[in-house]
Amino acid sequence: MAIAEPRTTERAPEPQRHWLVQWLTTTDHKRIGILYLLNSFAFFFVAGVFALLMRTELTAPGRQLVTTNGYNQLFTLHGTLMIFLFILPVLVGFGNYLVPLQIGALDMAFPRINALSFWLLPVGGLTILSGLLAKGGAAAAGWTSYAPVSEQGGAGQDLWIVGLVVVGTASILSGINFIVTILRLRAPGMTMTRLPVFVWSMLATSLLMVLATPVLTAGLIMLFADRRLGAFFFNPAHGGDVLLWQHVFWFFGHPEVYMLILGAWGVVSEILPVFSGRPLFGYPGVILAFVLITALSFSVWAHHMFATGQVEFPFFSATTELISIPTGVLFFNWLATLWRGQLRFEPPMLFALGFIALFLVGGVDGVWMASPAMDFAIHDTYWVVAHIHYVLFGGTVFGIMAATYYWFPKITGRLLSRKLGQWHFWLMFLGFNLTFFPMHELGLRGMPRRVADYLPDLGWSFLNQLATAGSFVIAASMLVLLVNVVLALRRPRTAPADPWEGNTLEWATTSPPPVHNFDRLLEVRSNRPVWDARERARIQAAEGRT
Amino acid sequence: MGVAGLAGALLAGCAKQGATVQGQQIHDLYVLIIILAAPVFVGVEGALLWCVLRYRRRRGSDGRPVPQGAGGPRSLAVFFAIPTVLVAFFFLLGERTLADVQRREPNPAVELRIDSFQWQWTFYYLNEGFFVTGRTLTKVPVIALPVGAPVHVRLEARDVVHEFYVPEFLFMRNALPGRPNEFTFTPTRIGTFRGQCAEFCGLHHDQMRFVLKVVSQADYAAWVDQQRKAAQRVDCDPTGPLRLVSKDNSWNTGCLAVGASGPFVVSVSNQDAGIEHNFAVYDSAKRRRTYFQGPRFVGVAEQTYQLRPLPKGHYYFECDVHGPAMSGSLLVK
């Protein structure tokens, strides 16, 4: 007679799953945030290589490297990947990692949707890139894909449309997730008026993602229907309208520009106070500016269409100029934050200061284009290329680099080298200005955008050579960053919880934080809870001594 | 120094004065904006630099308290007020110039219809009765205009969005299929000006160029005369079966000849992937009488057309999709 073996009361330990499976199935906002960052930087690399190929091609008149069709694919993919698969996702990635930490939450509101909205990104991005294998190549109608040029093209254009619908879906989902997280999961004491500025910037970004992205999706579906299902939305021969695409695209596209910059404003508004030892000057003014810009961004779209001659000029030039008022307020507040502070030039601060200096150029050179008559002279020239890069590279990418140096110790538990960070900053600052400043002059000399070649006797060659040289300096600066990251990752985890003397809650937990984020939550009584705690400790220590 | 360099570069760039009445007004606006924007730019960059130099943390300043004031409603109001005043002023300036540039000339000296398509321009001189066009990738159209005379343009597009852009005129305007645009300009300077399409329009966008010569009134009259005569002087001889090949939206020849003996065959090879062409025969570029009109077909493909006998004479053939830029003479001898 067999006797049943006594059962152990202990539960068998969960089988430790393979690390790859863990990463593929994770719903932890920190891991998803890291996945976002890795994925975004991978696309940044690809789109950056495309930019170098373009710059090399434009070094001199004549054909150097790629065919005309190849060049048209390069600028289309460069713009598309940078905007949809690097800048926005990298900001969302930092948001994913930091928003729950900064508001003292355990995770995002919808962890599974969070994972889904991440995984849609590589799928969409690779769909767009897979056009390179299609007959006739990838999409070649520009990142704006104006109809009806975008109705020609082969399968590459269809893959571009499908890929962007997928990426857009990811945006909408993560926008909803952020909004709910920020409105519902804040720690006790974390009122809306104590919310860190970066969280406010992500809230504004999310509103734009949820409200504007569906408009793009609708436009893409119309374009697809025209191409493959025999519809005529954009075909005037059958009662369609070519301007409809431009209206739909820019009604999304201009809020999109603010999705791409608001997060960087948030980052800079976090970093300046920390490294100058001051509170953010005019916190309510900064938030008000964010809100006004978010609202106004839906009313300016047709300033991209002044050259069509068929939009209401005074209205759109007035709204465009209005939006520069809250933007001006941001600059005043940033400067007033630095005023009478004690500035520490750690790499995050260098990039934040670089951001202010360069974003200002993008703000000022945009003033010319806001005036329709002036826009007739420079729209669709390299002036616009200079402008968008001063805003999105001099602005956002410098902000992204500031964020990278600022939060790298929190995310990895390791400190990046200060020396290499300085090299990275100065090379990038120099290379950036060398590449993009001459483009203003190229635009004034009449070089149109998106040309694969130009004539030798137009006086454009030297400026193009400067720009190409600059682009390789930028590439070198990125190598410095890569080396810095690799070296740091090989060192042990020694970063303290709060290496910078930060203000916000992510600095009140270990680096990197535990799975559950906080062992103990700090009391939140202002928008600088960690500063408050440090100050309290200092006062107590001083009292203890006397 | 960087600031001075910036201002210098921008001022040097605006050396381009604008070779039309309208262009000069835009140039004046450009200078006004510089005058308004330069102090803002210099002020903000200067304040930033001042903070960096003045308020850097020095050795020994550790522990010294940093002022923790963060502003109030008053600073907020000032921060909003300053840009508001600037923007209002700037808006009014811009509107004034816009009205001048958009004004339409009631009695233009030249009426042009500019037709654009992948990747070429056709300039129709409506009152003079001829047109000028180029051949994609091989011949850039060259047109002449009289100095000091207002030119009225009606700008159209046949396939996708293009853009008429002459850098020296400081002016560009989209050519939109189904939505013609009209504008006026008055050249003020004799010279040769280059123009090109500024809105990305597909594969050979970068090659879609034209040359605009602004000449004296007398030279203009001579040029018009010469253009009219050239239109009637084409000649070639019959050399066997008629064959037309389109590549990059250009025919391989501008002249076909056939003996007046009976029906004849024209074979058309369309080498332009995804683009429609056809073959049609008219009395002249004015297309008052149609002798033959073949169906349109998408490349890459080949079609053969049977034509009825035509009386001896000089006919005009074209691809209806692309008009005079894909046209030529059909001589029945």
Confidence of residue A1 (pLDDT cuts 50, 70, 90): very low
- The verdict on a CB contact (< 8 Å) between A373 and B101 is yes
The rounded percent of chain A whose pLDDT value lies above 70 is 97
Nearest Cα residue in chain B from A70: B203
Which domains does chain A carry?
20-545 (1.20.210.10)
Q: How far does the CA of residue B131 sit from the closest CA of chain A (Å)? A: 24
- A440-493 confidence digits (pLDDT tens): 999 999 999 999 999 999 999 999 999 999 999 999 999 999 999 999 999 999
- Which residues 28-87 in chain B show a CB within 8 A of chain A? 29-30, 33, 36-37, 40-41, 44-45, 47-48, 51-52, 55-57, 61, 64, 66-71, 75-76, 79-80, 82-84, 86-87
Max CA pair span of chain A: 103
| Per-residue pLDDT at A7 | 52
Nearest to B44 among A149, A360, A448 (CB): A360
- A392-411 confidence digits (pLDDT tens): 999 999 999 999 999 999 99
| Per-residue pLDDT at A160 | 97
| Per-residue pLDDT at A10 | 57
Name the architecture of domain B110-232: Sandwich (2.60)
- The verdict on a CB contact (< 8 Å) between B176 and A339 is no
Q: Does B203 touch chain A (CB under 8 A)?
A: yes
User: Is pLDDT of A9 > 70?
Assistant: no
Q: In the CATH scheme, what is the code of domain B242-332?
A: 2.60.40.420
Nearest to A242 among B26, B161, B167 (CB): B161
- The verdict on a CB contact (< 8 Å) between B83 and A368 is no
Q: How far does the CA of residue B211 sit from the closest CA of chain A (Å)? A: 13
| Per-residue pLDDT at A2 | 47
Nearest Cα residue in chain A from B170: A377
Nearest Cα residue in chain A from B156: A308
Q: Does B270 touch chain A (CB under 8 A)?
A: no
Mean pLDDT of chain A: 94
Q: What is the pTM of this model?
A: 0.89
Q: How far does the CA of residue A112 sit from the closest CA of chain B (Å)? A: 40
User: Domain coordinates of chain B in residue numbers?
Assistant: 2-50+74-102, 110-232, 242-332
Buried b (16+ CB within 10 A) or exposed e, A56-78: ebbbeeeeeebebbbbbbbbbbb
User: Is pLDDT of A314 > 80?
Assistant: yes
First-to-last alpha carbon distance for chain A, in angstroms, is 80
- A317-349 confidence digits (pLDDT tens): 999 999 999 999 999 999 999 999 999 999 999
Q: Does B333 touch chain A (CB under 8 A)?
A: no
- The verdict on a CB contact (< 8 Å) between B30 and A332 is no
Residues of B in contact with A345 (CB under 8 A): 56
**A-interface mutation test, from B59, B92, B174, most A Cβ less than 10 A away:** B174
- The verdict on a CB contact (< 8 Å) between A372 and B52 is no
Residues of B in contact with A370 (CB under 8 A): 94
| Per-residue pLDDT at B1 | 40
Nearest to A341 among B66, B101, B198 (CB): B66
For B277-316, the DSSP string reads E--EEESSTT--SEEEEPPPEEBSEEEEEEE----SEEEE
The CA distance from A36 to A43, in Å, is 11
| Per-residue pLDDT at A297 | 95
Query: Where are any strands of DSSP class E within A267-392?
Result: none
- The verdict on a CB contact (< 8 Å) between B207 and A453 is yes
| Per-residue pLDDT at B231 | 73
First-to-last alpha carbon distance for chain B, in angstroms, is 75
Residues of B in contact with A149 (CB under 8 A): 160-161, 200-202
Q: How far does the CA of residue B203 sit from the closest CA of chain A (Å)? A: 6
Of the two residues A105 and B35, the one the predictor is more confident about is A105
Residue partners of A414: CB distance under 8 A and separation at least 6: A408, A488, A489, A491, A492, A493, A494, A495
Residue A170: closest CA among A268, A94, A248, A93? A93
Q: Does B303 touch chain A (CB under 8 A)?
A: no
Nearest Cα residue in chain B from A357: B45
**B-interface mutation test, from A374, A425, A442, A453, most B Cβ less than 10 A away:** A374
Torsion of CA B280, B282, B284, B289, to 10 degrees: -150
Where chain B has pLDDT below 50, the residues are: 1-4, 15
- A289-310 confidence digits (pLDDT tens): 999 999 999 999 999 999 999 9
Report strand pairing: B301-307 vs B264-270.
antiparallel
- Name beta bridge partners: B258: B332
Mean pLDDT to the nearest integer, A406-420: 96
Asked, colleague to colleague, whether B110-232 and B242-332 share their fold, the answer is yes
Confidence of residue A5 (pLDDT cuts 50, 70, 90): low
- The verdict on a CB contact (< 8 Å) between B171 and A377 is yes
| Per-residue pLDDT at A104 | 95
| Per-residue pLDDT at A155 | 94
- The verdict on a CB contact (< 8 Å) between A236 and B177 is yes
- A169-191 confidence digits (pLDDT tens): 999 999 999 999 999 999 999 99
Q: Does B274 touch chain A (CB under 8 A)?
A: yes
The CA distance from A307 to B99, in Å, is 15
Nearest to A281 among B47, B71, B207 (CB): B71
Phi, psi of B187 (to 5 degrees): -65, 140
Q: Does B219 touch chain A (CB under 8 A)?
A: no
Residue A362: closest CA among A251, A257, A209? A257
- The verdict on a CB contact (< 8 Å) between B179 and A370 is no
| Per-residue pLDDT at B10 | 55
Mean pLDDT to the nearest integer, A193-199: 97
Residue B241: closest CA among B217, B219, B264? B264
Nearest to A280 among B37, B70, B163 (CB): B70
| Per-residue pLDDT at A368 | 85
User: Is pLDDT of A6 > 80?
Assistant: no
Nearest to A142 among B40, B168, B200 (CB): B200
